[in-house]
Structure 1
Amino acid sequence: MIVRRAGVADAAALAELRGIDGDKLGAYAAWMAAHTETHLPFVAEIEGHVVGAAWLLLAERVPSNESLDRRYGDIQSVEVREEYRNRGIGGALMAAILTDARTRGLLHVTVHSSRRAVDFYLRNGFSHHRQLLLWEPSDS
Structure 2
Amino acid sequence: MRWDFRLEESPGTPANDQPTFLRACEAFLLQGMAERRWTYWVAADDATLVSHIFIQRVPKVPKPNRIDDAFGYVTNVYTRPAYRNRGIGTQLMARVLGWAAEQDFESLIVWPSEASVPFYVRAGFQRSADMLEYLVRPYVL
Please indicate the TM-score interval, normalised by the length of the shorter structure.
Answer: 0.7 to 0.9
Question: How much identity, in percent, do the aligned residues show?
Answer: 26
Amino acid in the other structure paired with 2:116: A
In structure 2, which of residues 32, 42, 54 is the aligned counterpart of residue 35 of structure 1? 32
SS at match of 1:35: helix
Structure 2: distance between partners of 1:44 and 1:71: 25
Structure 2 unmatched ranges of 5 or more: 7-16
- 1:103-137 deviation digits (Å, cap 9, x = unpaired): 11111111111111111101001111111111102
Structure 2: distance between partners of 1:138 and 1:58: 24
- 1:122 equivalent to 2:104? Answer no
1:4 aligned residue: none
2:101 aligned residue: 102
Normalised by the size of structure 1, how large is the TM-score? 0.81
- CA displacement at 1:85 relative to structure 2: 0.9
Structure 2: distance between partners of 1:15 and 1:113: 16
Structure 1 vs Structure 2 CA RMSD: 1.9
**Contact between 1:74 and 1:110, CA under 8 Å: does it hold in 2?**
yes
In structure 1, which of residues 22, 25, 37 is the aligned counterpart of residue 22 of structure 2? 25
Structure 1 unmatched ranges of 5 or more: 1-13
Structure 2: distance between partners of 1:127 and 1:76: 16
**Contact between 2:2 and 2:76, CA under 8 Å: does it hold in 1?**
no
**Contact between 1:52 and 1:79, CA under 8 Å: does it hold in 2?**
yes
Aligned length: 126
Normalised by the size of structure 2, how large is the TM-score? 0.80
**Contact between 2:54 and 2:75, CA under 8 Å: does it hold in 1?**
yes
SS at match of 1:118: helix
- 1:70-123 deviation digits (Å, cap 9, x = unpaired): 211011000111111111111112112112111111111111111111111010
Structure 1: distance between partners of 2:32 and 2:110: 19
Structure 2: distance between partners of 1:52 and 1:23: 23
- 1:88 equivalent to 2:87? Answer yes
